[in-house]
Amino acid sequence: MTLPKFLLLGDSLTQTSFEGWGATLANRYQRRADILNRGCSGYNTRWYLLYADSHGIFEEQPADRITLVTIFFGANDAALKDLDGKHVPLTEYENNLKTLVQKTKSAYPKAKILLIAPPPVHREQRLIFQKQRYGDKATGIPERTSEHTQLYAKACVEVAQQLNLPCLDLFSGMVESSTDFGSYLSDGLHFNQKGHEFVGQRVLQAIDQHFPELAVQPDPITGQPNNSGSTCKGLPSSGPYHEEINPEGYEEAFEKQNC
């Protein structure tokens, strides 16, 4: 028996997720699911589709072992056309998202799918980052703007609506939850610790809301996500809890659980 898997598809905001939100997810699903991080920094949806095909992202697991897939793109697609080669036109971004969903459904028919729309871009932080990275060669013109990224975030939300899938809209979420969404970002684009905590909580909330069978109810006394006081309807814990093991006849608990 192998544990069910969650598959995280995305760009750097996914690749670096074990700094924060991916770890939050892995911790919540301890003994219930493995988190396979398939984020690729700097990728747009166009490149990711080629990556997925050439690296077997939709073939790597048995069809029934992927339980949840997050599809989280837009930060690079929304780079400005004349300033950054990562740019992908809005219509192609929408179509690419649909293709990613279709490929997910085809490969992993049992998987729940959560679309995640990109967060806002913070102009001033981005310019400071440019200066730090490129010094005098910094153009002083941001290669992304929040206004342009917002179009992609809205498009992601609309694609989700068209496909009847849930969408975690980080753009709106971050803008609406703070007077300064820059407080969630380190360089105007990537999450800092506060941002990771925000995303982690929002991803868990989205799972709880849209996929209640995957919702973990932590132990009400200890808050632990996986002990004998925790539950998750759709994802059983692997192995008996230690309280269920009688030290005098410990084999019995494992014989019962053998599956």
Residues 6+ apart with CB under 8 A from 244: 228, 253
Interaction of residue 15 with its own copies, rule CB under 8 A: yes
Which residues, numbered 83-122, are part of the site for its own copies (CB under 8 A)? 85-86
- What values do phi and psi take at 28, rounded to 5? -65, -35
Interaction of residue 236 with its own copies, rule CB under 8 A: no
Cβ atoms of 69 and 100 closer than 8 Å? no
Task: Candidates 137-145, 152-160, 206-214, 220-228: pick the segment binding its own copies (CB under 8 A).
Answer: 220-228
| Beta bridge pairs of residue 217 | 231
**∠98-216-211 over CA atoms, to 5°?**
30
Options 10, 13, 16, 165; binder of its own copies; rule CB under 8 A? 16
Site string for its own copies, 168-207 (x = CB under 8 A): ----------------------------------------
d(CA 6, CA 27): 12
- Minimum CB separation of residue 202 from its own copies in Å reads 18
Identity of the residue, 179 or 258, whose beta carbon is nearer to its own copies in the bound complex: 258
Options 115, 144, 226, 235; binder of its own copies; rule CB under 8 A? 226
Options 23, 80, 128, 157; binder of its own copies; rule CB under 8 A? 23
* Phi/psi-derived region of residue 257, left when phi > 0, alpha when psi is between -120 and 50, beta in every other case: alpha
Q: Is 146 a catalytic residue?
A: no
Cβ atoms of 67 and 33 closer than 8 Å? yes
Interaction of residue 80 with its own copies, rule CB under 8 A: no
Which residues, numbered 39-68, are part of the site for its own copies (CB under 8 A)? 39-43, 46-47, 50-51, 53-56, 60-61
**∠223-227-231 over CA atoms, to 5°?**
80
The DSSP secondary structure of 27-62, one letter per residue, reads: HHTTTT-EEEEEE-TT--HHHHHHHHHHTTTTTSS-
Residues that bind its own copies (CB under 8 A): 1-3, 15-16, 18-19, 22-23, 26-27, 30-31, 34-43, 46-47, 50-51, 53-56, 60-61, 76, 85-86, 224, 226-227, 238-239, 241-243, 245-248, 250-251, 254-255, 257-258
